Amino acid sequence: MLSHEVKILTENLNLFYGDKQALFDINIALEKNKVTALIGPSGCGKSSFLRCINRMNDTIKDCKITGRLYIDKRDIYNKSLDVVQLRTKVGMVFQKPNPFPKSIYENIAYAPKIHGLVKNKKSLDKIVENSLIKAGLFDEIKENLYSSALDLSGGQQQRLCIARTIAIDPEIILMDEPCSALDPIATAKIEKLIDELSQNYTIIIVTHSMQQAARISQNTAFFHLGRIIEYGSTNDIFTNPQSIQTQNYITGRFG
């Protein structure tokens, strides 16, 4: 039973890529300022669902969506909705770190500048510094703000991408396997960061790692073949799953 305020709600959400249906009747309520993990075997619809939340599927030819997806009770597929505004509210961090081939400073400053969020250099400096502090990166790179972001390690690049995402102060952060390209030490830093960020942001994370889902999320949804098989508190999903399919997946019998 959900005890907190709902941030994202779907009603009978279906997703088609041409003739192929990728998501079937997704009904889920995602809680505000919680970490929700999406787990399930490859190709089961987790990333497709994630991309529905910021309408990234709009960029795919022949993609069609039916049903409803609400953020703060507003249907984001309503024709009157401004998609640019939506994407300032819903940030995304990808599987592989993808910093711009610019300085660390410019990576963070870019979005606040194009969205008109800053009045002067001083306020931009503050946003850059605060974003890097929130991403746990500032102390490591404060002497090298104008060095190329491509010189950072993989784990630092991923934290830079998280800093870049939070620079425009979104409310929701989507993460598509943000640690899959990282070593265990960098992964631990990102997981600690996710925990800290969830105080202020609603975080939805796709992960292949059951251990990671158990460590960092409060709620978990298990996807299989484009459907949500089970959704509930992470503790319940991992210790007392209601579905035999969920049990088989988390015990490693398939997937």
- At residue 142, the pLDDT reads 95
**CB of 2 within 8 A of CB of 29?**
yes
pLDDT higher at 117 or 226: 226
- At residue 255, the pLDDT reads 57
Quote the percentage of the chain above a pLDDT of 70.
98
State how far the alpha carbon of 154 is from the alpha carbons of 71, 174, 222, in Å: 32, 19, 29
- At residue 3, the pLDDT reads 56
Per the prediction, the chain carries an average pLDDT of 94
Q: Is the dihedral of CA 106, 107, 108, 114 positive or negative?
A: positive
pLDDT digits (tens, 9 = 90+) for 214-246: 999 999 999 999 999 999 999 999 999 999 999
pLDDT digits (tens, 9 = 90+) for 133-167: 999 999 999 999 999 999 999 999 999 999 999 99
Q: DSSP 3-state assignment of 11?
A: strand
Q: How far apart are CA 140 and CA 145, in angstroms?
A: 10
**Does position 254 have pLDDT exceeding 80, yes or no?**
no
Please compute the mean of the pLDDT values over residues 174-192 and round it to a whole number: 94
pTM: 0.94
Which residues have a Cβ under 8 Å from the Cβ of 219 and sit 6 or more positions away? 30, 31, 34, 35, 36, 37, 231, 232, 233, 234
**Does position 19 have pLDDT exceeding 80, yes or no?**
yes
Quote the percentage of the chain above a pLDDT of 90.
92
pLDDT digits (tens, 9 = 90+) for 76-108: 999 999 999 999 999 999 999 999 999 999 999
- At residue 1, the pLDDT reads 47
- At residue 117, the pLDDT reads 84
**CB of 108 within 8 A of CB of 163?**
yes
